[in-house]
């Protein structure tokens, strides 16, 4: 097959993927293609819904067992795919716990990380060999893997959290055992672990994006839900993220209808500064006001990033959206930088997650910055430290082997 056909196939594949994502997020609602494709995905979502409910029922009935590890496990996750601002929450919890003397290890599945070669997996299956140990992204002292090997979020967490161990592995029970034995971890943070029922968590922190809480309320692949909304009853706390501080009684009522006892904490992802991608240089947010900037991102909810730039006063003269977790090439960045220059952009802004996926040697036509975000508690506590104290250490919660669930929520407690 010629290189021209390969490129054409790659373009068609990317266009189809973009179309599918737009249908899932209801960005495209009209047309025959949307109707046919959406109908097919809806049928698949009914099948997925049944499988998810069956799996949770098997854990509820103790037919499938979840495993305790002898140390506190704090689960941070969501009901939807992408876009809830989970990584800054995990980072904030890990930093606060480490500052209080806990030996923290973060366990991640490493979404979009480089997989083990097929021939090695096949040989291990044939030879009945043991699974490899989890990837050590950070041993608490040094960052040992790049974003391609580790995945975007684990690499970003490792880079921002000196003193915290970050491990990647699909089997997070084994990863947790490894963290305890190898690094002496005394508390585990299960990143994106709400659906990982094999490992028993003492506290489930469920994140809900205020700007798009549950999409169209349909499960994958027709919607963005991984589980039915009713399954938020497993949550110990619900964090409403990306809040603007304005009352949203409808969302709170929906959450309380399915889980009347759960406490809701509202928080915002506040931008703090612009950080240079290629160095330690910083610029204040005020530098965005009235400036012509070019923006690009490859995240699940690009609208939130673009709207934030506009709220900060930026004039977006050129904009490019990529698929979530897209790994940028030199050719793509060269093309983007050229068009940004043609649009008379003064500099370029992206997200922190996208910054870790940029090629190591970028053309220096225009300076590139990422927007650094921090978590701010808006309700329930004075600040994040007080929230961590109240959530993680109320009456020695972690000394009990039973998670703080009640009623229907006590589905996975030990008998």
Residue 373 phi, psi (nearest 5): -115, 145
Judge whether residue 327 has pLDDT over 50. Answer: yes
Residue of 138, 143, 133 whose CA lies nearest to 171 = 133
SS (H, E, C) 19-42: HHHHHHCCCCCCCHHHHHHHHHHH
Of the listed ranges 110-119, 136-145, 356-365, the one predicted with least confidence: 110-119
Cα–Cα distance, 15 to 6 (Å, whole number): 14
Judge whether residue 396 has pLDDT over 70. Answer: no
DSSP string, 400-413: SSS-S--GGGTTS-
- The answer to whether 87 touches 153, Cβ cutoff 8 Å, is yes
**For residue 292, what are its two tokens?**
């012509």
Contacts with 373 (C-beta within 8 Å, 6 or more apart), sequence order? 85, 88, 269, 270, 271, 272, 352
Residue with tokens 């098997």: 58
Mean pLDDT of the chain: 89
Judge whether residue 63 has pLDDT over 60. Answer: yes
Q: What percent of the chain has pLDDT over 90?
A: 73
Q: Return the axis-axis angle of helices 86-99 and 152-160, rounded to nearest 10°.
A: 30
Mean pLDDT of 354-380: 88
**For residue 286, what are its two tokens?**
């005020």
pTM of the model: 0.90
Radius of gyration from C-alpha coordinates of the chain? 22
Cα–Cα distance, 108 to 149 (Å, whole number): 13
- The answer to whether 183 touches 140, Cβ cutoff 8 Å, is yes
Of the listed ranges 1-15, 85-99, 211-225, 273-287, the one predicted with least confidence: 1-15
Residue of 365, 364, 362, 391 whose CA lies nearest to 377 = 391
**Size of the chain in residues:** 415
pLDDT band of 409, cuts 50, 70, 90: very low
Peptide bond into 221 cis (omega under 30): yes
- The answer to whether 264 touches 380, Cβ cutoff 8 Å, is yes
DSSP string, 226-241: SS-GGGGGG-SEEEEE
The pLDDT value recorded for residue 389 is: 83
Judge whether residue 403 has pLDDT over 90. Answer: no
Judge whether residue 330 has pLDDT over 60. Answer: yes
- The answer to whether 366 touches 337, Cβ cutoff 8 Å, is yes
Q: How, if at all, do strands 282-283 and 263-276 pair?
A: antiparallel
pLDDT band of 404, cuts 50, 70, 90: very low
Cα–Cα distance, 318 to 330 (Å, whole number): 18
Judge whether residue 195 has pLDDT over 60. Answer: yes
Query: Cα–Cα distances in Å, from 54 out to 49, 78, 274?
Result: 9, 19, 46
- The answer to whether 353 touches 87, Cβ cutoff 8 Å, is yes
The three-point CA angle 49-75-248 to 5° equals: 70
Contacts with 321 (C-beta within 8 Å, 6 or more apart), sequence order? 296, 297, 298, 302
| pLDDT, tens digit, 9 for 90 and up, residues 290-299 | 999 999 999 9
The pLDDT value recorded for residue 373 is: 93
Residue of 223, 226, 227, 222 whose CA lies nearest to 41 = 222
Residue of 161, 188, 160 whose CA lies nearest to 174 = 188
Cα–Cα distance, 190 to 180 (Å, whole number): 14
For 166-176, letters b (16+ CB in 10 Å) and e give: bbbbebbbbbb
Q: What percent of the chain has pLDDT over 70?
A: 92
Residue 276 phi, psi (nearest 5): -65, 135
- Domains detected in the chain: 3-60 (no CATH), 73-261+381-409 (3.40.50), 271-374 (3.40.50)
């Amino acid at each position: 097959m010629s290189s021209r056909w390969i490129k054409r196939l790659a373009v068609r594949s990317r266009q189809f993927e973009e179309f599918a994502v737009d249908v899932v997020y209801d960005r495209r609602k009209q047309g025959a293609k949307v109707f046919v494709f959406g109908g097919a995905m809806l049928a698949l979502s009914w099948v997925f819904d049944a499988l998810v409910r069956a799996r949770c029922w098997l854990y509820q009935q103790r037919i499938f067992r979840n495993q305790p590890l002898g140390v506190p496990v704090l689960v941070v996750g969501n009901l939807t795919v992408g876009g809830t601002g989970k990584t800054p929450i995990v980072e904030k919890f890990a930093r606060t716990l480490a500052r209080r003397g806990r030996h923290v290890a973060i366990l991640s599945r490493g979404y979009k990380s480089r997989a083990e070669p097929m021939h090695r997996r096949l040989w291990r299956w044939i030879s009945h060999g043991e699974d490899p140990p989890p990837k050590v992204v950070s041993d608490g002292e040094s960052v040992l893997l790049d974003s391609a090997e580790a995945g975007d979020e684990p690499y970003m967490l490792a880079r921002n959290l000196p003193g915290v161990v970050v491990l990647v592995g699909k089997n997070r029970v084994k990863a947790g055992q490894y963290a305890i034995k190898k690094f002496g971890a005394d508390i585990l943070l299960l990143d994106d672990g709400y659906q990982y029922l094999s490992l028993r968590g003492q506290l489930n922190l469920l994140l809900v994006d205020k700007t798009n809480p549950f999409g169209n309320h349909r499960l994958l692949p027709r919607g963005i839900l991984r589980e039915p909304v009713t399954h938020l009853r497993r949550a110990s706390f619900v964090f409403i993220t990306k809040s603007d501080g304005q009352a949203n009684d409808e969302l709170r009522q929906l959450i309380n209808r399915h889980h009347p006892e759960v406490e809701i904490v509202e928080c915002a992802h506040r931008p703090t500064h612009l950080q240079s991608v290629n160095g330690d240089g910083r610029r204040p947010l005020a530098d965005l006001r009235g400036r012509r900037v070019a923006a690009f991102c490859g995240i699940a909810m690009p609208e939130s990033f673009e709207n934030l730039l506009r709220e900060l006063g930026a004039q977006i003269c050129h904009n490019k959206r990529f698929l979530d977790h897209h790994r940028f090439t030199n050719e793509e960045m060269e093309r983007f930088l050229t068009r940004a220059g043609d649009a008379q952009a003064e500099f370029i802004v992206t997200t922190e997650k996208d910054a870790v996926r940029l090629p190591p040697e970028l053309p220096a036509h225009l300076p590139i910055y990422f927007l650094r975000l921090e978590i701010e508690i808006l309700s329930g506590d004075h600040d994040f430290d007080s929230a961590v104290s109240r959530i993680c250490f109320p009456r020695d919660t972690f000394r009990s082997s039973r998670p703080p669930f009640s009623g229907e929520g006590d589905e996975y407690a030990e008998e």
